[in-house]
Amino acid sequence: MDILTFLAQGFAVALEPQHLFLALIGCALGTLIGALPGLGPVNGVALMIPLTFNFGLTPTAALILLVSIYYGCMYGGRISSILLNIPGDEPAMMTTLDGYPMALKGRGGEALGLSGVASFIGATVATIGLTLFAPLLVGFAIRFGPAEYFALFVLAFATIGGVTSGSLTKSFIAACLGLLLGTVGIDAVSSVPRYTFGWFELYDGIDFIVALVGLFAISECLVFLENTQHGSKPTMKLGSAIPGMRSAWQCSPTIARSSLIGFISGVLPGAGAALGSFLSYTLEKRWLGKRGDFGRGDPRGVAAPEAGNNAAAGGALIPMLSLGIPGSGTTAILLALLLSMNITPGPLLFAQQPEMVWGLVAALFIGNVMLLVLNIPLVGFFAKVLQAPGWFLMPMVVMVAFVGVYSLSNSAFDLYLMLAFGVLGYVLRKLEIPTVPVVLGLLLGGQMEYNMRRAMSISGGDWSILWNSGISIGIYAFAITLIVAGLVFSWMVKQRA
Amino acid sequence: MNESGMESLRTSGVVGDRIAGTVLAVLAAGAWWHSHSFATGFMQPVGPGAFPRLVSVPLGLLALYLILRPGFNQRWPHRAALLRQVGALMLLGGYSAFLEPWGFLPASLVTVIVLIRLFGAPWKQSLVSGAILTVGLYALFEFALGMPLPNMPGLSW
């Protein structure tokens, strides 16, 4: 039972007092950032990644801090989806359906408490599932050569289109754009500068953290500048979070069913958390039929998508850690976070750095416990953040972005680059071209190219090596299946709307 | 914020998508063309230009498809909003340039005050909140987090 030993070790590390403290700080900070109106979880994590590099932490400690911020941001995003009806990310959309009506009835606190408990249970189910399924992948990993890795990256980009709702064409365009931007800089194999146009600042390539902060945080500010309103926001009666515990008990069958559904949809690469919360909400609605009051503030309508969402996010760790394929925008951010710490997810990670994998799993779990402990009593305080005016928050976000990016390399060039990415992100958003695939292209492009060129040098320049093995054919077939499934799924959603 | 809901903010993307498609198609063609100037090293079956070419083909094709079948766009900003955005970008560009020579405190103070004003607060509020925000962030970054910030010339501790 190697895995249990590693998991126990991971927990032992995560439970050290310093790490627990960091987890607490991370969760509190993350919740605050995630709850900032208009900022949302993905932007929040993107903003925090460069800052955490400056704390001089050990890799494990930094990982725990970032993961806690990630979890905190996700939870903070839920506060704005439930209380303001503004979902911070895609999976949170289903939560607004019953969460906001609950808040209107003065049961916002209860909804938030319930969401905390439901997410906790969903994440726990996913952690157990991860422990059970991961060993299967370790044996599988040994058969991967460079050509198979290349196929895997194609799969990653094929499936990200199925997730980010909207036009498939546009998400593929975004991915290609990201891959092309990823080739900027000196080529590692031949030392030839590519697309640098004589700018020596670009020789190291585009730092994806600079791109990330620009594409998300800066472009968010530009969106915010469109409609500035000066005035106070309506306050809402929150109510206590304590009844959330009781309604969680009443919803326990719902939570159990939704966790299972969420986990299964999370494991499918490319499906991810959005599908998890969508499926668990609609299936639960159908299961309960007339016994439910969905859409008008039924607590089960909050419990189902929250449990499903978090179980899916945990389940999505399986394709993310083992194949390097992130399932959703937020998992993509988690991938960026890991890559920024020099942890490269992929088939070899489980075999070569098991302590890292299980340390991460333990950190995620601890983060979840922390959130539960932190948020049930403090939900009222966090909800206050929503009342902070945009004219104060957004300049703060800009300052944090500037200081974070500046501290990476102490160069003004990176700041200009960040602004340029901010404009790019803004224009892409207006065009409804998703920005997450751009970041993914930047993140994964180097590895993808490296594997392609290694495969080519093995075959002596014969391109057919890329589709000559059973595994790569299987992966391509799977990618095509998922694209078709994604098209059918989005067609079904359109029919329903 | 966006009380009117996201759905009503969508417009037809015929113009926007076609412009974007054209720009991207030109970009793809340029990337393809430029990649031929990357010298292939000795004993390499594929050179540094192969991967950019491999990516620029689908990018170009998808861009052409976008020109033929444009989709939807979010509503583009009005003139006043556009002016604010351009103003903010120029301000932040200036901030990037002056951060090092001026030091964090003075450069940020000016930037934050103007930025808050751009976000819609009146002057008095901008001055007060801007000063509080700048000093607060400075204390946070410099002392609490120990991050190296550019100091004012002639002033260091």
Answer for the pair A112, A244: CB distance below 8 angstroms, yes or no: yes
Mean pLDDT value of segment A446-464? 86
For residue A372, being part of any structural domain is answered with yes
B2 close contact with A: CB closer than 8 A: yes
How far are the Cα atoms of A63, A65, A436, B73, B99 from residue A53, in angstroms, in the given order?
10, 11, 22, 37, 21
Indicate whether A395 pLDDT > 70.
yes
Helices A146-163 and A272-288: crossing angle, nearest 10°? 50
For residue A200, being part of any structural domain is answered with yes
The residue type of A439 is V
B151 CB neighbour count, 10 Å cutoff: 15
pLDDT in tens, A354-371: 777 777 788 888 888 888
pLDDT in tens, A14-26: 788 888 888 888 8
State whether B137 and A398 contact (CB < 8 Å). Answer: no
| Nearest CA among A174, A479, A476 for reference residue A329 | A174
How far are the Cα atoms of A137, A411, A444, B91 from residue A323, in angstroms, in the given order?
9, 35, 12, 43
State whether B88 and A225 contact (CB < 8 Å). Answer: yes
pLDDT at A338: 82
pLDDT in tens, B17-43: 999 999 999 999 999 999 888 877 666
* Closest Cα in chain B, distance from residue A285 (Å): 24
Tokens of B102: 């001026």
* Closest Cα in chain A, distance from residue B110 (Å): 12
Domain boundary among B28, B48, B74: B74
For residue A389, being part of any structural domain is answered with yes
CA A428 to CA A164: how far, in whole Å? 14
Tokens of A415: 């700041």
The interface predicted TM-score of the complex, written ipTM, equals 0.91
Tokens of A115: 């969401």
pLDDT in tens, A300-333: 888 888 888 888 888 887 878 877 777 666 677 7
The per-residue DSSP string of A331-393 comes to HHHHHHHHHHTT---SHHHHHH-HHHHHHHHHHHHHHHHHHHHHHHHHHHHHHHGGGS-HHHH
How far are the Cα atoms of A319, A392, A413, B85, B130 from residue B124, in angstroms, in the given order?
53, 13, 33, 22, 10
For residue A167, being part of any structural domain is answered with yes
CA A53 to CA A62: how far, in whole Å? 8
For residue A398, being part of any structural domain is answered with yes
Contacts of A396 in chain B (CB under 8 A): 133, 137
Indicate whether A232 pLDDT > 70.
no
Mean pLDDT value across chain A? 80
For residue B2, being part of any structural domain is answered with no
Measured in degrees and rounded to the nearest 5, phi and psi for residue A331 equal -65, -35
User: Of A92 and A202, which is predicted with more confidence?
Assistant: A202
| Nearest CA among A201, A187, A263, A94 for reference residue A445 | A187
Measured in degrees and rounded to the nearest 5, phi and psi for residue A320 equal -70, -50
For residue B151, being part of any structural domain is answered with no
Q: What angle do CA A86, A92, A97 make, to 5 degrees?
A: 70
For residue A382, being part of any structural domain is answered with yes
pLDDT at A419: 96
Contacts of A201 in chain B (CB under 8 A): none
pLDDT in tens, A273-284: 667 777 888 888
pLDDT at A236: 60
Domain boundary among B33, B50, B74: B74
For residue B92, being part of any structural domain is answered with yes
For residue A234, being part of any structural domain is answered with no
Contacts of A222 in chain B (CB under 8 A): 85, 88-89
Shared domain for B17 and B44, answered yes or no, is yes
* Closest Cα in chain B, distance from residue A418 (Å): 10
CA A444 to CA A176: how far, in whole Å? 11
Answer for the pair A98, A58: CB distance below 8 angstroms, yes or no: no
Tokens of A365: 């779990």
R_g (Cα) of chain A, nearest Å: 22
Sequence-distant (≥ 6) Cβ neighbours of residue A172 within 8 angstroms: A157, A161, A437, B58, B62
Structural domain for A190, as ranges: 2-229+239-496
Q: What angle do CA A41, A219, A204 make, to 5 degrees?
A: 95
The structural domain count of chain B equals 2
CA A204 to CA A196: how far, in whole Å? 10
CA A186 to CA A356: how far, in whole Å? 30
Answer for the pair B20, B74: CB distance below 8 angstroms, yes or no: no
Q: Which of B73, B97, B149 sits opposite A431 (nearest CB)?
A: B73
Query: Residue A134, exposed/middle/buried by CB under 10 A (0-12, 13-18, 19+)?
Result: buried
What is the share, in percent, of chain A residues with pLDDT greater than 70? 88
Shared domain for B117 and B133, answered yes or no, is yes
Under DSSP, the state recorded for B151 is P
The structural domain count of chain A equals 1
CA nearest to A421 within chain B: B89
CA A486 to CA B99: how far, in whole Å? 47
Shared domain for B93 and B49, answered yes or no, is no
State whether B81 and A225 contact (CB < 8 Å). Answer: yes
How far are the Cα atoms of A25, A84, A148, B3, B76 from residue B9, in angstroms, in the given order?
38, 18, 43, 11, 9
- Among A184, A186, A399, the residue to mutate for chain B (most B Cβ within 10 A): A399
Under DSSP, the state recorded for B31 is H
Shared domain for B110 and B124, answered yes or no, is yes
Contacts of B44 in chain A (CB under 8 A): 189-190, 453, 457
**pLDDT bracket for residue A230 (50, 70, 90):** very low
Under DSSP, the state recorded for A214 is I
Shared domain for B125 and B99, answered yes or no, is yes
How far are the Cα atoms of A210, A222, B127, B134 from residue B115, in angstroms, in the given order?
21, 12, 10, 12
Shared domain for B127 and B69, answered yes or no, is no
State whether B121 and A453 contact (CB < 8 Å). Answer: no
For residue A455, being part of any structural domain is answered with yes
3-state secondary structure A299-336: HHHHHHHHHHHHHHHHHCHHHHHHHCCCCCHHHHHHHH
Q: Which of B16, B35, B146 sits opposite A430 (nearest CB)?
A: B16
| Nearest CA among A441, A429, A434, A442 for reference residue A221 | A429
Give me the residues paired with residue B73 across strands: B11
Answer for the pair B53, B35: CB distance below 8 angstroms, yes or no: yes
R_g (Cα) of chain B, nearest Å: 24
Give me the residues paired with residue A193 across strands: A186
Structural domain for B103, as ranges: 79-144
pLDDT in tens, B76-112: 888 888 999 999 999 999 999 998 888 888 999 999 9
Torsion of CA A436, A442, A444, A445, to 10 degrees: 130
pLDDT in tens, A44-78: 787 888 877 777 777 778 878 888 888 888 777 78
For residue B154, being part of any structural domain is answered with no
For residue B150, being part of any structural domain is answered with no
pLDDT at A470: 86
Contacts of A394 in chain B (CB under 8 A): 115, 119
Identify the residue whose tokens are 């970054």: B141
Q: Which of B34, B45, B129 sits opposite A457 (nearest CB)?
A: B45
Residue A33, CB-side half-sphere exposure with 13 Å CA sphere: 28
State whether A194 and B35 contact (CB < 8 Å). Answer: yes
Residue B60, CB-side half-sphere exposure with 13 Å CA sphere: 14
Identify the residue whose tokens are 């700080």: A25
Shared domain for B83 and B43, answered yes or no, is no
pLDDT at A370: 84
* Closest Cα in chain A, distance from residue B100 (Å): 8
pLDDT at A193: 87
Domain boundary among B30, B48, B74: B74
